[in-house]
Structure 1
Amino acid sequence: MKCSAQTSINADLPSPIIESGNFADPADGTLYASVLESPLAVSIPIWPNPAPAGCKDVVTLEWAEVTGSGVGAYVELAQMTFNGPVENFPDTVLYIPVAEALEEDGRYQLRYRIDTYIDTELESAYISIVCDSAPPYKYKVPSSFHLPAKQITIPFFEANDDVFVCVIPDYPDCQRGDVIAYFWRTATRTVEIGRIPVPDDRKVIYTRAQIEAAGNGEFYAEYRLYDKAGNQSQISSSEPINVSMAPRKLTAVKVSSAVGSSSFGSLKIDLVVDGVTINVPADADVYDGEIIRIQWASPQAFNSITIDEPDPSSPLVYKVPMRNVAAHMVSSLADGASFIPVYYEILDGRSLEVLATSSVYGLALTDILATNYPTVQCSHVSGNILSLSSVPVSGTEVSIGVWPFMADDQYINFKLVGLGQDGKNLEVVFFEHKVTAEEVADKKVNATVAKADIEKFKVGVNLYFEGEVTFNNKGYWYKFRPLRANLTN
């Protein structure tokens, strides 16, 4: 789409055209500051009766500055000569050397003039453009915020509706469309808190949640201004603000049935029958309107979970679902880890910002007892004997029944283990599979092992049907109880 600003009325030709993407504000013709750094393309529509063969038309692009006292003299910007004939002529593009031509920021009327081959001068309607290359405050450092206080305490917030309101000092080149980005800085770190249009009252609000999240110490409230053309000021000056607020008391959670200390415990996973119950201490400093969010295991861990809905029994009791438990048994943890972290965060009820984090409770989940896993089954094994003659060419069914914490985000495999025909140890994996929701509902997984795979093993000795399951996306495999069968002809 092409866009032009206001045009004059008594003109012979349509106005020149500047692509709409060059305008920061098409309504008043303000160009982006970045556009002024290189030649600006201007399209000239084909004019009536262009020059025939042997003749020429001359197109001149020009502008005039508009000031409080009126429109100044037009100044030539670019010129192009067209030798006839010109048939089916497309739009002509001329380029304004803005960086060289612009002596002063301001509003300009841009038009073009055609000196035709019959010595007639045609003038176009104009478009109004605004060139603005200077940042707010020009090139000076903006003055520091007007601060409501230079020390922030809990009583300050209680007396001021939990907000710290700073005021942008008045500045001479303030204009509608200016934007402010405001920051909260320490000696080593700067955090952008927000970016908003400069308010009419020039007030900028830091919330208690934002300030509390940064902790205690010496801080600086700073800002940067942007005008609608895209120019940006320097970072403002600032004054030190001392934040001294008593820390919240957020002691570690308790895990039902776990044994240990206040910060570490061990839980026998065989005691988990309906998820793991997490208890937030009754003396935790949580205020009205805030949200408690439980973090179960490291956020990057497979099957970790955050829980912000308490159990119906109590607002301080949270339940970890069964499907999020088994992935965190001790053998499944990353190398060197012996427990998972369990903690809670306090969130602002409106913005959902994290205001504070509790101490961490380290929980070690024991592995499922080997005797609690089911045994692999084979439909053609009878009395621990597998007769090859009874197995059809298509193979035999191998299956496993329900195991603890069975879910559809787990993988299993089946394999044959024994002595090969050459008398050497042989292992044949014939099935690897992601458990489906239907199999969970059926409490069983079926597979088929081909007769040809069984025939790879030596007759007259034991053959083992083995299986494994992984609860943490193939990070660690737990063994099902194997089925032993003597292989016969």
Structure 2
Amino acid sequence: MKESQNKVTSQQAREHYSKWLRNRQALGTSRADGATLPKAVLPDYVFWPDDPSLDGYLPLKKQETDLVIGIPAWTNGAEAGGEDKIIIEWKRIEAEKYVSILTVPQPGPNEDTDPDVQITIPQFNFEDHATYIFRYWVVNELGEGGYSIAQTITVDKIAPHYGREPDALSFTEPEAENGDITQDYLDNHGDVLAVTIPAYDQPKAGDIVEVFIEGNVPDPAAIPVFTGDIFINPRVVNIPGSRIRRIPDGPLFVTYRLIESGI
């Protein structure tokens, strides 16, 4: 019977192993985590130059889209007619084990001067509020290879986003701080309740503030009492008396939300 031309001879197997071993040694194995490949190249939008502590957070506008990463070229890749495989592993930060979520064949020749291989990670892999850890493997035809330095992606779906709860607002008039917001108070203050929005870190043009009120039950209007540019001066928002009168007698809670431009 004629032997298949795809059969790997012992000599070829030794050559494959030698190539893989040279690749592993060239990348280094001194890291405690055993990683022998560099980090994947993430899109610019996951980096926050103004606050590097947020690096890895997906902007709100990008949380519903696929994530495209770049896999740097590797040494001693498959030759023409051969094939390497790129495997993406993913897990929640609290999980013990990685799960393989994507395998992408990469036909040879694969040279260390090639451009990054673009890999698309479907959005459903990170649709929940969580911090995820991922890494990639490059594996040759014998199933041998190495994995990359792990990286994190955080999907923050619960406000206040990015762990950046702003300072509480304050009432502009001392009488409001010290007593009840009665009809007499509103009559004496132009039928408005004035609140002051505190300063916050790294304001940018286009930032928006939304102010909400509610009592023991949510505000029947279910919409902000104010939505507008945060760069007002003074930073005072007037809550109309007509909205306050919709709230039943009892506690009055005033909150606000900052919506930063570009997130």
Aligned to 1:14: 38
Verify: 1:133 aligned to 2:157, yes or no: yes
Counterpart pick for 1:27 among 50, 53, 63: 53
Aligned to 2:118: 93
Describe the SS at the equivalent of 2:93. strand
Distance 1:19 1:9, change over 3 A: same
Q: Deviations over 1:97-131 (max 9, x none)?
A: 12x22363211111101112343221100112111
**Aligned runs of 1:234-383 on 2, under 5 Å?**
none
1:31–1:229: 8 Å Cα contact kept in structure 2? Answer: no
| Equivalent-residue separation in structure 2 for 1:61 and 1:191 (angstroms) | 45
Counterpart pick for 2:181 among 150, 172, 181: 150
Give the share of equivalent positions with the same residue, in percent: 23
Counterpart pick for 2:242 among 218, 236, 239: 218
Q: For residue 26 of structure 1, report the CA deviation from its aligned partner.
A: 4.8
**Aligned runs of 1:68-147 on 2, under 5 Å?**
71-87=95-111, 88-98=113-123, 100-102=124-126, 104-136=128-160
Aligned letter for 1:39?
D
Q: For residue 230 of structure 1, report the CA deviation from its aligned partner.
A: 8.0
Q: For residue 164 of structure 1, report the CA deviation from its aligned partner.
A: 4.3
**Aligned runs of 1:38-57 on 2, under 5 Å?**
38-57=65-84
Q: Deviations over 1:137-156 (max 9, x none)?
A: 9xxxxxxx997442436977
How many residues align structurally?
Answer: 186
Distance 1:194 1:34, change over 3 A: closer
As a proportion of its length, which structure holds more helix? 2
**Aligned runs of 1:318-467 on 2, under 5 Å?**
none
| Equivalent-residue separation in structure 1 for 2:119 and 2:148 (angstroms) | 15
RMSD: 4.5
Aligned to 1:181: 209
As a proportion of its length, which structure holds more strand? 1
2:211–2:254: 8 Å Cα contact kept in structure 1? Answer: yes
Describe the SS at the equivalent of 1:85. coil
Distance 1:194 1:129, change over 3 A: same
Aligned to 1:63: 90
1:18–1:42: 8 Å Cα contact kept in structure 2? Answer: yes
Aligned letter for 2:99?
V
Question: Where do 5+ consecutive residues of structure 2 fail to align?
Answer: 1-30, 162-169, 214-220, 245-252
Describe the SS at the equivalent of 2:103. strand
Aligned to 2:27: none
Aligned letter for 1:37?
E
Distance 1:192 1:34, change over 3 A: closer
Aligned to 2:12: none
Whose radius of gyration is greater, 1 or 2? 1
Q: Deviations over 1:358-400 (max 9, x none)?
A: xxxxxxxxxxxxxxxxxxxxxxxxxxxxxxxxxxxxxxxxxxx
Describe the SS at the equivalent of 1:37. coil
| Equivalent-residue separation in structure 2 for 1:136 and 1:124 (angstroms) | 33
Q: For residue 32 of structure 1, report the CA deviation from its aligned partner.
A: 1.2
1:184–1:192: 8 Å Cα contact kept in structure 2? Answer: no
| Equivalent-residue separation in structure 2 for 1:50 and 1:154 (angstroms) | 79
| Equivalent-residue separation in structure 2 for 1:66 and 1:20 (angstroms) | 22
| Equivalent-residue separation in structure 2 for 1:110 and 1:228 (angstroms) | 28
Describe the SS at the equivalent of 1:113. strand
Describe the SS at the equivalent of 2:110. coil
Question: Where do 5+ consecutive residues of structure 1 fail to align?
Answer: 1-6, 138-144, 158-162, 168-175, 197-204, 232-489
Deviating beyond 2 angstroms after TM superposition, the runs of 4 or more aligned structure 1 residues are 7-10, 22-28, 133-137, 145-149, 151-157, 163-167, 182-185, 189-196, 216-231
Distance 1:131 1:182, change over 3 A: closer
| Equivalent-residue separation in structure 2 for 1:27 and 1:75 (angstroms) | 27
Q: For residue 64 of structure 1, report the CA deviation from its aligned partner.
A: 1.6
Aligned letter for 2:227?
E
1:182–1:222: 8 Å Cα contact kept in structure 2? Answer: no
Distance 1:73 1:184, change over 3 A: closer
Q: Deviations over 1:259-311 (max 9, x none)?
A: xxxxxxxxxxxxxxxxxxxxxxxxxxxxxxxxxxxxxxxxxxxxxxxxxxxxx
Counterpart pick for 1:37 among 45, 64, 73: 64
| Equivalent-residue separation in structure 2 for 1:84 and 1:193 (angstroms) | 55
1:132–1:229: 8 Å Cα contact kept in structure 2? Answer: no
Describe the SS at the equivalent of 1:111. strand
Distance 1:10 1:165, change over 3 A: same
